[in-house]
Amino acid sequence: MNYSKKTVYDAPVAGKKVLLRCDFNVPQDKVTGEITSDKRIVAALPTIKYLLENGAAVIACSHLGKPVATFESYVKKQVEKGKKEEEVTRESWEKSLKKLTLAPVAKHLSELLGQEVIFAADTIGEDAKAKAAALQPGQIMLLENLRFNKGETKNDPAFAKELADMAEIFVSDAFGTVHRAHASTAGVADYLPAYSGLLVDKELSIMGKALDDPKRPFVAVLGGAKVSDKINVINNLLEKADTIIIGGGMAYTFKKAQGFEVGKSLLEADRIDYADEMIKKAADKGVQFLLPVDNICAAEFSADAEPVLCDGDIPADLMGMDIGPKTVELFSNAVSGAGTIVWNGPMGVFEFDKFANGTKAMAKALAESGAITIVGGGDSAAAVEKLGFADKITHISTGGGASLEFLEGKELPGVACLLDK
């Protein structure tokens, strides 16, 4: 896939209306609705400020959560959860939608920008269209939650065209959504010239270079729960990396393939043959393939469980929860001389303090490596931030699913639709 895309710097934005896709899918307090982290809003500020300062009228849009767009679908979902059809009311559906309004985001964005963010009560309705038509250069508005319209996730051309008709240029700055072919991420590009925002451009240039032309040695560190989630990632990286390190729950399927006992550890029995195949493929290609040599185990999956060090085989009554001290040393040594390191997925159950050491040690090793370090979104990004190493990492991706599909070498619909340089 071509990662070299035209950016907002290439777009003739002065005096133009710009439809800007942001990722304002922010976490909120379940009771008060208050935004608990504004990181994603702050991440969009450089692009928004550039557009406003260069005379664009900005029509920002985003999704928030997973609202059920039609009452009929809502009824169906509630019935699946065990409710009787006659008990499900339109009022409860409307209440569920109100919880996912972008109004608090508009308010917070206004405070961050120091200017009013005009809020539209709908996405392509009368209010949105009237406010978009009246919008002047240097002004910004935010549409209501895109997913309130069922045409968004279905990439309905009619919905995409109505969104596009409000603007003259499309700018994509929501990297966390570019792996989805939705109306606002890909569909609108059928009707408007499409450019990348500064956030998406940064992701493409850093991650694209890491995969296509890495400073070597190139080390990939993969963790997380399941082998099945990372099959395509491992396959793709075996063609590019010098060393692949496997930790987390997925490592036990590989250990089983090597003939070790894994006790009650997470195991995908239907992936053992695949794991064996990958170990052999790495050997054939001369790629160093590192697996845990010892583990921190426990009798139960609990924050209060007593850690037990297991060397080699894991007893039948225990489960692996983290990598052990010998493995920490092995993995840390492997990254210490790297030129480029990509990390996706924690080394253990880092949410439990007693089993966070492996993930913490990996984060520390990356921070001290002197290499170009890239941390994929999701759990590994959360771990690096929680453990206090975020400021020592070259790049932390803003996209969980998107960064994973990037590592798989997949074409991302929200990137493919942008204009090539």
378 as an active site residue: the answer is yes
User: Over the stretch 211-244, which tens digit does the pLDDT of each residue have?
Assistant: 888 999 999 999 988 888 888 899 999 999 999 9
Complete edge-to-edge strand list for the sheet that includes strand 294-298: 308-311, 294-298, 319-323
Q: How far apart are CA 267 and CA 275, in angstroms?
A: 11
Asked if residue 377 has pLDDT above 70, the reply is no
Q: How far apart are CA 278 and CA 261, in angstroms?
A: 19
Asked if residue 1 has pLDDT above 90, the reply is no
DSSP state of 136: -
Cα dihedral 333, 339, 342, 346, rounded to 10, equals 20
226 as an active site residue: the answer is yes
401 as an active site residue: the answer is yes
Whether the bond between 292 and the residue before it is cis, its omega within 30 degrees of 0, is no
List 77, 401, 409, 410, catalytic entry: 401
* Domains detected in the chain: 8-65+100-199 (3.40.50.1260), 206-408 (3.40.50.1260)
180 as an active site residue: the answer is no
List 77, 150, 161, 226, catalytic entry: 226
pTM for the whole thing?
0.87
List 187, 378, 399, 400, catalytic entry: 378
Backbone angles phi, psi at 309, to 5 degrees: -80, 125
Predicted confidence at residue 112, as pLDDT, reads 98
Predicted confidence at residue 399, as pLDDT, reads 79
Of 407, 331, 338, whose CA–CA distance to 372 is shortest? 338
User: Over the stretch 15-63, which tens digit does the pLDDT of each residue have?
Assistant: 999 999 999 999 998 888 899 989 899 999 999 999 999 999 999 999 9
User: Over the stretch 384-405, which tens digit does the pLDDT of each residue have?
Assistant: 888 889 899 999 987 777 888 8
Residues 25-61: b if buried by 16+ CB within 10 A, e if exposed? bbebeeeeeebeebebbebbeebbebbbebebbbbbb
List 17, 40, 147, 230, catalytic entry: 40
